[in-house]
Structure 1
C-alpha cells in the first residue's frame, strides 16, 4: 500500500511524537519496576531485623538500653572534663590577674 501524500513536516512530527511517547513509556516502566524492587527489598530487610517474639523484643530493647547507657557515660565523662578545664582556666585567669596586680603595686 503506497504512502499517501503527506507533507514531510507532518510526517516528521508524527515520528517525533511516537518516539517521545515510546521513550516516556519505557522510562516510566523501568522506574516503576525499580521502585517496586526497592520496596520489596526494604520489606525483606525489615522482616529480618524485626524481633519475632516477646523474648527477642526484650533482648533487643535491653541491648539498645545498654548502648544508650554507655553513650550517656561517655557524655558525662566529657562534660566532667569540660567542667574541670573551665575551673582550671578560671583559676589560672584569677591567678594571673592577682599576680599582675601585686607586681604593679609593688613598684
Structure 2
C-alpha cells in the first residue's frame, strides 16, 4: 500500500517540472521574438537613413570628412599642448634640480 501514497507526490512534482519548462520556453520565445523585431526595426531605420542617390552619398561623405578633419585638428592641438608641457617640465626638472642643490648647500 505505500505505493499509492507516494504516487501523488510524483505526479505533482512532474506537473510542476512540466509547467516550469513550459514557462521557460514561452518566455524565451517571446524574448527572442522581441529581439528579432528590434533588430529588424533598427535595420529599417538604417536603410532609411542611408543616402539613396549619388548626390546624397557625396554630400554625406563630405559631411563625414569635415567631421573627421575637425576631429583631427582637435587631436593635433591637444598633441601640441602635450608636447609643450613635456618640454617645459623637462626644462623645469633640469633647472629645479640645480636650484634645490644650491638651496641645500646654503644651510
TM range (shorter): 0.7 to 0.9
Q: CA 1:92/1:38 → structure 2, altered by over 3 Å: closer, same or farther?
A: same
Q: In 2, distance between residues paired with 1:101 and 1:92?
A: 14
Residue aligning to 2:88: 88
Residue aligning to 1:39: 39
Q: CA 1:8/1:69 → structure 2, altered by over 3 Å: closer, same or farther?
A: same
Q: In 1, distance between residues paired with 2:13 and 2:22?
A: 14
Q: CA 1:32/1:83 → structure 2, altered by over 3 Å: closer, same or farther?
A: closer
TM-score by length of 1: 0.73
What SS does the corresponding residue of 1:51 show, helix, strand or coil?
A: coil
Count how many residue pairs are aligned between Structure 1 and Structure 2.
102
Q: CA 1:89/1:36 → structure 2, altered by over 3 Å: closer, same or farther?
A: closer
Q: Which structure features the higher share of helix residues? A: 2
Shift of 1:91: 2.4
Shift of 1:87: 1.8
Q: CA 1:28/1:104 → structure 2, altered by over 3 Å: closer, same or farther?
A: closer
Residue aligning to 2:24: 24
The Cα RMSD (Å) is 2.9
Structure 2: tracts of 5 or more residues without a match: none
Structure 1: tracts of 5 or more residues without a match: none
Q: In 2, distance between residues paired with 1:98 and 1:13?
A: 85
TM-score by length of 2: 0.73
